Amino acid sequence: MAEWEAVIGLEVHAHLKTRTKMFCRCPLEYGAAENTSTCPVCLAHPGALPVPNRKAIEQTLRLGLALGCDIAEHSVFARKNYFYPDLPKGYQISQYEAPLCGKGALDVPGGTRVGITRAHLEEDAAKTVHAGGATGRSVGADYSLVDFNRGGTPLLEIVTEPDLHGADDADRFLRLLRQTIVELGISDAEMEKGTLRADVNVSVRERGETGFRPRWELKNMNSFTFIRRGIEAAIREQVAAYERGETLEQSTYDYDPDTDRLTVHRSKEEADDYRYFPEPDLVPVEPPAELLESLELPELPGARVARLAEQVGLDGAWELVSTGNDRKAELLVGAGVEWKAAAALAMNRGDFLPENAAALARIVQANVTREALDEAFARAATERIDAEPYLAQTAVGDESELVPVIEAILAANPDQVASYRGGKEGVLGFFVGAVMRETNGKADPKVVNRLLRETLRVSK
């Protein structure tokens, strides 16, 4: 049996975070009422002329710099012609031969270096809503409505080389790219809101083979889970077909998460011919050197994963960075907190001043009450804190210390025990109060509650 290797490339689309659309001044507001954010430019009235959004160009350039792309000295917008109801002009303004960002790469720590073919800027189409009949699907719908609010949203398209070789590989790359985009502040990149989506190209070949076989394109994937499962399904179905001796052709597929199968969306005969040509209504974009120098980049997540991996291993590093607050988690780790605890604290306890990391680490490692921990983190966000007063508020979290206290209280209050067992559950509060008094408020009420219930159930 042949050994197969998957070859995967991605086309990732992200809505840029600008106040207005790509070529007009219509505001972009998520969730606005349908067709309220339109104008003659984005509705393609005759004579209306586009004006490019400077912010969108800058954001695209920042991403290009972050991915080490060749930045174009002379970039042009192009018309991509096709007919569809969500495209009032009959063409989309995109980029073709001269994108803003050319070749680059993104290193996935612990994984592959993924080549970036290009990153360009375009406008999104409007949104079609299918209604009546088989609601939500074009086939069988009674009628369709178009919401032009989305039409003209600045859209960044990033195309990778076919450098990925499996679902895990693609998943890590995509998460890293998403995190990079989010941290650059250029897009919310939320799949569930549709501000990030991907087309996934998958083919397989026998190990050692150098050329590429026909690829299947999974269109408009908008969930990390479905992307992973779609890739696995495509690999499985292609390998099975080749092993049956079949030949395959290049096609576009839809992945159906309910059946975990792929169905042909569009086959090769209908392959697109967009008749691209330079957009005559827009001048070329020539980013000046001063502009590129002014676009500062933060430390990027890929670099931070690589650095953290040396301290906490690769899995820990990925987990820390995906908390979105790994700079704070890293400070806690540096002060001696175990990384899993640091990740949870960074996620759930939010922010603190960096100079408080050492004090917080001491408090976290001591067994302080929940109240003390809450207060320490609340104060640490705005002022410099000292660990000592919190360390004094030690929690009695140890069950072996609590059980004798509970048993003594139950023994001293036989009437209340009887009424609890008789069904008066409210009496539990009386016991919790008694235990808290006895421990000077240092017990964890949750633990006390559980231990009380257990003891009252078991002992007679």
How many other C-beta atoms can be found within 10 angstroms of the C-beta atom of residue 440?
Answer: 10
- The piece of 21-29, 114-122, 302-310, 413-421 that touches Zn ion (CB under 5 A) is 21-29
Q: Which stretch in 20-28, 99-107, 169-177, 321-329 sits in contact with Zn ion by CB under 5 A?
A: 20-28
Which residue, 39 or 436, has its beta carbon nearer to Zn ion? 39
Q: What is the largest distance, in Å, between two alpha-carbon atoms of the chain? A: 91
Among 8, 12, 24, 372, binds Zn ion (CB under 5 A): 24
Interface size with Zn ion, residues (CB under 5 A): 5
Q: Strand pairing of 216-221 and 251-256?
A: parallel
For 131-143, give the secondary structure using H, E and C: ECCCCCCCCCCCE
Nearer to Zn ion, 149 or 251 (CB): 149
Q: Pick between residue 38 and residue 180 the one whose CB is nearest to Zn ion.
A: 38
Q: Which is nearer to Zn ion, 16 or 345 (CB)?
A: 16
**Which residue, 153 or 195, has its beta carbon nearer to Zn ion?**
153
Query: Which residue's CB is nearer to Zn ion, number 79 or number 172?
Result: 79
> DSSP H helical segments within 323-438, as ranges?
326-334, 339-348, 357-365, 370-380, 388-391, 399-412, 414-421, 427-438
- Shortest approach of Zn ion to residue 26 CB, angstroms? 3
Task: Show contacts with Zn ion in window 396-435 (CB under 5 A).
Answer: none
For residue 151, the minimal CB distance to Zn ion (Å) is 8
Least Å distance between CB 282 and Zn ion? 15
Look up residue 165 and give its two tokens: 């070789």
Radius of gyration over every alpha carbon of the chain, rounded to an integer in angstroms = 29
In the chain, the N- to C-terminal Cα span, in Å, equals: 67
Site string for Zn ion, 95-134 (x = CB under 5 A): ----------------------------------------
Between residues 123 and 444, which has the closer beta carbon with respect to Zn ion? 123
Q: How far is the CB of 148 from Zn ion (least distance, A)?
A: 8
Asked if 16 contacts 28 with a C-beta cutoff of 8 angstroms, the reply is: no
Which residues touch 154 (CB under 8 Å, ≥6 apart)? Answer: 15, 16, 18, 21, 22, 53, 56, 59, 121, 122, 123, 124
**Using CB under 5 A, which of the segments 24-32, 97-105, 168-176, 352-360 binds Zn ion?**
24-32
Given a contact cutoff of 8 angstroms between Cβ atoms, the answer to whether 70 and 281 are in contact is: no
Two tokens, residue 328: 């704070």
Map the footprint of Zn ion across residues 25-64, applying CB under 5 A: 26, 39, 41-42
Please, what is the minimum distance in Å from the beta carbon of residue 38 to Zn ion? 6
Name the site residues for Zn ion (rule: CB under 5 A): 24, 26, 39, 41-42
